[in-house]
Amino acid sequence: MAALSFIIGIIGNIISILVFASPIKTFWTVVKKKSTENYRGVPYITTLLSTSLWTFYGLLNPDGLLVVTVNGTGVAFQFIYVTLFLIYAPKDKKVKTAKWVALLDVGFLGAVITVTLLAVHGNLRLTFVGILCAALTIGMYAAPLSAMRTVVKTKSVEYMPFLLSFFLFLNGGVWSVYAVIVKDFYIGVPNATGFALGSAQLILYAMYKNKSKSAKSIEAMEEVGSAHLVKGGIEMQSHNDDEDDETGINNRSLNKGKSLPKPSANRQYSFKKILRTLSLNAQDLQSGWPNESDVENMKLGNDHP
């Protein structure tokens, strides 16, 4: 059993480190742009607190070597993320982030370690720290519940990345198996919760993946259609404005007797008006093409004899 628990623990270490490493791309962008943009620092601050507490728990536990290795690695990753966030965040966000770091990662963590070492003795130390770690981990696993609610509401998995959900599912499952083998209640409960929530996320992803694609396709078609309508309206308006300008120029030219304007028919007039224009006799054509007001007057004359 010891060999099996060690193998499962190694697998759990690998998966957990992959989860810890997932924000690297995000912070590479932050460094390149020298700005945190709209990213929030609280998730990295709370994860730093969680991994620090689990590292402390592993140090208290005689069989906690694998817990120390994985969470110690997590502490290193989260410390780098928080440091980069403090460097590149805007001034107001930088101040808020620094306050949260001081409150949680320094103040709260320091208080837990001090109380555990000075006021708690024997097996109670492991129980005290284990309960804190389990509660914090359950809270972190429950954080994606808002994203799951959004998926159900919008019928879209756009804001619930598949890989993150998949690795959380694997991470919770592997560490749950490890907890059962080593009979560690404090590791088992939060990771079983994570496994259940990860399973729910994957089920939602399977349910709404195709619907998300259909919705995006419809939305894209609507956007294209709207773009064509807007473009067509602009072109028609531009064409009409050009014709209005041309009509004014032609009228002025006719008054001066300097040129013969080109015939034009406004798109906004009906087919009947165009027929009336085309039915003018040769004498009318010799004196120049009538403008739109003449055509309208002829219509009024015909309608009211």
pLDDT value for 153: 86
The Cα–Cα gap between 150 and 195 comes to: 20
**Helical residues (DSSP H) of the chain, grouped into ranges:** 2-21, 24-33, 42-60, 65-88, 91-100, 109-119, 123-142, 145-154, 162-182, 185-256, 271-278, 282-286, 292-303
Q: pLDDT tens for residues 104-137?
A: 999 999 999 999 999 998 889 999 999 999 999 8
Q: pLDDT tens for residues 251-285?
A: 444 444 444 444 444 444 444 544 454 444 444 44
Q: Name 294's Cβ contacts closer than 8 Å, sequence gap at least 6.
A: none
Is the pTM higher than 0.75? The answer reads no
Q: Where are the domains of the chain?
A: 2-220, 222-303
The size of the chain, in residues, is 305
Structure token digits, residue 241: 């404005």
User: Smallest Cα–Cα separation from 73: which of 13, 133, 116?
Assistant: 13
pLDDT value for 40: 84
User: Smallest Cα–Cα separation from 249: which of 238, 235, 264, 233?
Assistant: 264
Q: What separation in angstroms does the CA of 303 have from each of 19, 276, 277, 282, 300?
A: 80, 13, 15, 23, 5
The Cα–Cα gap between 191 and 140 comes to: 11
Report, as ranges of residue numbers, the positions in the chain whose pLDDT lies below 70.
159, 212-305
Q: Are 136 and 124 in contact (CB under 8 A)?
A: no
